[in-house]
Amino acid sequence: MKAFGDIFSLPMKSFEQIRLALIEQKQEFINQNPGTTRNLLTVVARYVKTPFPVIISGLRRAGKSTLLAQLARRFYPNGNYFYVNFEDERFLAFSAADFARLHELLIELFGNQKVFIFDEIQNIAGWERFINRMAKGKYKFYITGSNAALLSRELGTKLTGRYLPVELFPFSFDEYLRFRKIPRPNLTRLTTVQKGGLKKAFAAYLQNGGIPQVLQYPQLPLAKTLYDDILNRDVAQRYKITDIKSLRGLTFYLFSNIASLISYNKLKQLLQLGSVNTVSGYIEYLQASWLIFAVNRYAFSVKKQQIANKKIYGIDTGLIKTVSFSFSQNREKFLENIVFLQLCRENRENIYYYKTAANHEVDFYLPRNKTFIQVCLSLADTQTQTRETQALAEAMKEIKNSRGLILTEAETSRLYLNQQSVPVIPIYEWLL
């Protein structure tokens, strides 16, 4: 007959270490500084009383654990939940077979709770089996992970019931203002002082990005460390990539050409990556780790969308600046990247770029509400205004009943294209 500890993959000695880890983690979680309240908390709040698991996914260090702490304080102030952070090294040998014993330990330490908060669950292969079984017993789960696949393909095939996906991005401009303790002004009655302060704050946000820890400790090279950690752990190790040099070369190129169209075939030739499949695979892995996003051209044919060049954006302008070439040379591209990230927070599944029949480009098209968006530094230059408005006018003519919007660094006005009114708005106002 097997000893009690033998029916699990972990020896009893390891469970004693996990016992200590659970006690320490719960106390640290309760005492954690709640930080800047995230806008996403309002979204998660709508899911609290549902029976479905809530999956919070996003970049490493984007604030997922802090969001969980804010959630716990607001909706479970008595500490009536289980909390486990699987990033702890004491869980290195933990497997899906050990979840039953873990549940026993949690009950032994904290009573029989109905709410589980699991942090960085992607570290445990087969985690979904435990969630599937327990969710049927009316247990509530809040789960975080740093791999975007948690939010799409893997979840769709592994979780047997309904789940509620939530994506957490680095600070929005609104959250950045709260982090800096800058009062949010009334945009309809902006004073000169308020407008100047808002422009100054936006310039800093554009350059430094919105990763909380990077902003909190600007004297430390945390952005570079985070970038290296993601490439090595979330990409190279996870997908067993041995050619790290090529992976780094590709990532550097993409970050240095942010908000630009790319051809997989040209990338293969330029970086000597062997095959288009290699390029496609690397970009897919970088997307899964939340470093980049590849945006499709809008077309009625899905096949045409897939074969057209992609437009690449990064997860955070501060991270892009740390890794790539000069920020000042790419200011307009950084503005476009900021707009893209905000659109993602609001409308992730339906963002495209658009090419007119005359091959003129519009930066964004949102088919859900038929909106075209152009982003530029300024319309003061006649040639720039002609280029931006010509593409927009053509696109609005091709897509019936559509509307346009132009976002600039600091200008406010209104143009008329195809007898339609098109507002011109400063990006820092639009973000709020």
Residue-range domain boundaries for the chain? 4-168, 175-208, 221-325, 330-432
Helix (H) or strand (E) holding 22: helix 12-31
pLDDT digit string (tens) for 384-432?
Answer: 899 999 999 999 999 999 999 999 999 999 999 988 999 999 999 999 9
Taking the C-alpha atoms of residue 256 and residue 8, their distance in angstroms, rounded to an integer, is 49
Taking the C-alpha atoms of residue 117 and residue 106, their distance in angstroms, rounded to an integer, is 12
Taking the C-alpha atoms of residue 214 and residue 226, their distance in angstroms, rounded to an integer, is 9
CA 89 to chain centre: 25
The per-residue pLDDT for 148 is: 72
The per-residue pLDDT for 13 is: 61
Q: Are 394 and 356 in contact (CB under 8 A)?
A: yes
pLDDT digit string (tens) for 354-374?
Answer: 999 999 999 999 999 999 999
- Give me the architecture of the 221-325 domain, per CATH: Orthogonal Bundle (1.10)
Burial 328-341 (b: 16+ CB within 10 A, else e): eebebbbbbbbbbb
Residue in this structure with the two tokens 């609001």, named with its chain if needed: 346
Q: Are 146 and 134 in contact (CB under 8 A)?
A: no
Taking the C-alpha atoms of residue 422 and residue 403, their distance in angstroms, rounded to an integer, is 7
Closest CA to 60 of 232, 211, 175: 211
For the domain made up of 4-168, give the CATH fold. Answer: Rossmann fold (3.40.50)
Confidence of residue 7 (pLDDT cuts 50, 70, 90): very low
Q: Global pTM? A: 0.91
DSSP string across 180-215 = TTPPPP-GGG--HHHHHHHHHHHHHHHHH-S-HHHH
Confidence of residue 330 (pLDDT cuts 50, 70, 90): confident
Taking the C-alpha atoms of residue 91 and residue 95, their distance in angstroms, rounded to an integer, is 8
Cite the DSSP H helix spans in 98-221.
Answer: 99-110, 127-135, 153-158, 173-179, 192-208, 212-216
pLDDT digit string (tens) for 82-124?
Answer: 999 999 999 988 999 999 999 999 999 999 999 999 999 888 9
Mean pLDDT value across the chain? 91
